[in-house]
Structure 1
Amino acid sequence: MLKNFWYAVEFANAVTRAPKRVTCLGQDFVLYRKRDGTVVCLSDLCVHRGAALSEGTLVGDKIACPYHGWEYEPDGACSKIPANPEGRGIPKRARVDSYPIREEYGLIWAFLGDLPEDERPPIPHFPEHDDPSFACVYVEMVIEANYERTFENVVDAAHTPFVHGTRFGNPDKPQIPDYEIVQDDWSAIADISLSPPPARGLWKRLYKEKPEEVLTTNGWYLPNIVKLHVRLPFGDMVLYDHNIPLDRNRTLVKIVGYRNFFTGKWADRDARKRIRGILLQDKPVVESQRPELLPYDLPDELHLRSDALQVAYRRRRQQLMADGWWVGDDEQMPVNGKRGSATVIPSPARRENPELARAWQHRARGGTPMPAPKKAADGGTEKE
């Protein structure tokens, strides 16, 4: 899993004045709106005894822990400890991580990392969002698989004739022509021609005759977004597929789908049904893949020219891992618990305050403390 990126962690309309827990990169966060409507994102773990802040209440723009009433400011600093006698100060370590937030394209994006603002990778541009000719729907689904497997599945054009043969792939013409990739540090895009199956249902009314080919634009945006743009004879369908890693083996897929045909609200239900149908076709296949995690070395799996977009991703991923952008064991908060301790994903405050870089450290959920080695009489350490 990659840190130091903007992650779309929730649909904007789902975030209100009521604290809401979301999960990404194996860590829980709490989201809420301040009185002016802007969104706050904090680590969902009170530094005192580890209670979930998302179970707490808002006091103005602060959030109060449900356990001992500690109040945290939007920047993560604790500003009130009810148990303290009057005049007693608040420890510097009494704070939680606060993450930068942006609200764009109907999504809440959190920057999960500690890079300063001028070094952060960009949020992708979705030009359809502000185009009045496009209608938009939102769909989500949990898939029991690693996010890179679900991510590569959408990038992969060659699976469509077999997994989606009833929707937008043609098993009678499964060939994928060679394609060229346009790539930069944060994305890779390619135009790929596919042979479509006959139209069905509502869409069939607009087909005068079945086209021989449909041009699609497929590609990825780091860290976890796939774009699929299908140019149908009667209009454009554009899907932005966000693969949110709940943990190493579970993915929350959030899709923002745009279309410039059947743009009335009456057609939204059908659009959501079609997107959900595509996900349900992918789900059992991706959940069955082995190994569950994407291999690190390219030769560990066989690649063809039709896999060029996935290979481009894996190569860029290797570079970022070498640069230290991979979420290591010391930074993970495992969902099912693990022995030892773990720290939350570092926020910008850690870099800005080096003396507090490891101040907010907690036992992993379900973990057990490691006993200190006993010292022998001669000053050495006894072996157990």
Structure 2
Amino acid sequence: MLRNQWYVVLESREVTKKPVGCIRLGERLVFWRTFAGQVVCQLDRCAHRGAALVKGKVLPNDHIQCPFHGLEYNEKGQCTCIPANGRSEPVPEQFKVKSYPTYEAQGFIWIFWGDEVPPKAPRFFDDIGPELSYGTVIDPWENHYSRVIENQLDMAHLPFVHYNTIGRGNRTVVDGPGLLKVDEGFFIYVYNRRDDDTKRRTSEEVPVPNPHNEFKLEFIFPNLWENYISQKVRVMAAFVPVDDTHTLMYLRFYQSFMRLPVLSRFINWLGGRTNLFIAHQDRRVVETQIPKGPGEGTGENLFPGDLPIMEYRKMRLKAKA
């Protein structure tokens, strides 16, 4: 897991007035809201005897109270009260829990997982605006989140894994792909075609962007991906790290071609189920990849069509430095 990064970890709807516990980035975390609605994220472990704070409650003073001995913690994680000592006695400094900065937008909750002060708010996709409605499905995968991300950056697997869905047409040759680096990520332009015995074009030989097709992929480091299908349709995913071998894919279908509320919800639901079917074609294979961890440094042999995977791995190595 890469420290000092903004990660999408939950949807906003998953955190209401009561504490919510989950495992993210290999840690047991508790999320709760202040009475003003601000999301708080802390390690789910009382500094006294290690009880789970998620079993406690949020008090009117915007403190979370441990269910075991009533210790209270503010949004910064500092214990403000040990009932057994009395409210008049100062709380020792070591009674605190780790808190992570949070950010909420677009119906998602990010945490800044690390020890540094976040340099700025996280980025989201510029072309996803309020005119697009969406539906979300949450899908568990048994592999490292980087393996799941790399699958969505892989242009060569389409005619084999998705032979009867999005990979129809036997376009096995990967011209390019085209790649355009942007702030905190990159765009991918696809030029897959049938093998007609002509030499494949390199990434330097294909135009960027594609002048003949608005379709493109975008990746925002460390865990967001978008499939821009058309002006009115997008597929977007957040690859949420649970631990070293488990990932949750938050998969969204966005559209603006249907505005009527009831029909819009049905279309979004149907789009989500369709995308889930396609994702499960991928999942069947990705869960077999070994080792179950990040691919860089594992002795794999990549070919030119894997350029987006190479770029992603470079970004990971730079973040580790």
Same fold (TM over 0.5): yes
Contact 2:235 2:254 (8 Å CA) reproduced: yes
Q: What is the aligned partner in structure 2 of residue 21 from structure 1? A: 21
Matched residue of 1:130: which SS?
Answer: coil
RMSD of equivalent CA atoms: 2.1
Q: What is the aligned partner in structure 2 of residue 41 from structure 1? A: 41
Q: What is the aligned partner in structure 1 of residue 229 from structure 2? A: 230
Aligned amino acid, residue 317 of structure 1: R
Aligned amino acid, residue 187 of structure 2: I
CA distance in 2, matches of 1:10, 1:308: 30
CA distance in 2, matches of 1:272, 1:113: 33
Q: What is the aligned partner in structure 2 of residue 183 from structure 1? A: 181
Q: What is the aligned partner in structure 2 of residue 68 from structure 1? A: 69
Residues matched between the structures, number = 299
Instruction: For residue 301 of structure 1, report the CA deviation from its aligned partner.
Output: 1.2
Could you tell me the TM-score, scaled by structure 1's length? 0.73
Structure 2, unaligned runs of 5 or more: 195-211
CA distance in 2, matches of 1:216, 1:195: 15
CA distance in 2, matches of 1:144, 1:131: 33
Q: What is the aligned partner in structure 2 of residue 115 from structure 1? A: 116
Q: Percent identity?
A: 30
Instruction: For residue 135 of structure 1, report the CA deviation from its aligned partner.
Output: 2.1
Q: What is the aligned partner in structure 1 of residue 219 from structure 2? A: 220
Instruction: For residue 20 of structure 1, report the CA deviation from its aligned partner.
Output: 0.3
Aligned amino acid, residue 166 of structure 2: F
Correspondence list, 1:49-198, <5 A: 49-60=49-60, 61-85=62-86, 87-117=88-118, 119-120=119-120, 122-132=121-131, 134-184=132-182, 186-194=184-192
String of CA shifts for 1:79-108, please: whole Å, max 9, x gaps: 111111453221101111121111111111
Instruction: For residue 195 of structure 1, report the CA deviation from its aligned partner.
Output: 6.3
Correspondence list, 1:191-270, <5 A: 191-194=189-192, 216-231=215-230, 236-263=232-259, 264-270=264-270
String of CA shifts for 1:291-327, please: whole Å, max 9, x gaps: 22223338x2111111100001112212222x2xxxx
Aligned amino acid, residue 229 of structure 2: V
Matched residue of 1:258: which SS?
Answer: strand
CA distance in 1, matches of 2:290, 2:215: 28
Aligned amino acid, residue 314 of structure 1: R
Matched residue of 1:251: which SS?
Answer: strand
Instruction: For residue 176 of structure 1, report the CA deviation from its aligned partner.
Output: 1.9
Instruction: For residue 240 of structure 1, report the CA deviation from its aligned partner.
Output: 2.2
CA distance in 2, matches of 1:86, 1:307: 61
Matched residue of 1:138: which SS?
Answer: strand
Aligned amino acid, residue 146 of structure 1: H
Matched residue of 1:153: which SS?
Answer: helix
Aligned pair 1:5/2:1, yes or no?
A: no
Aligned amino acid, residue 11 of structure 1: E
Contact 1:31 1:40 (8 Å CA) reproduced: yes
String of CA shifts for 1:130-177, please: whole Å, max 9, x gaps: 241x22111111111111111100111211222122221125222222
Q: What is the aligned partner in structure 1 of residue 309 from structure 2? A: 310
Instruction: For residue 10 of structure 1, report the CA deviation from its aligned partner.
Output: 0.9
Higher Cα Rg: structure 1 or 2? Answer: 1
CA distance in 2, matches of 1:262, 1:277: 22
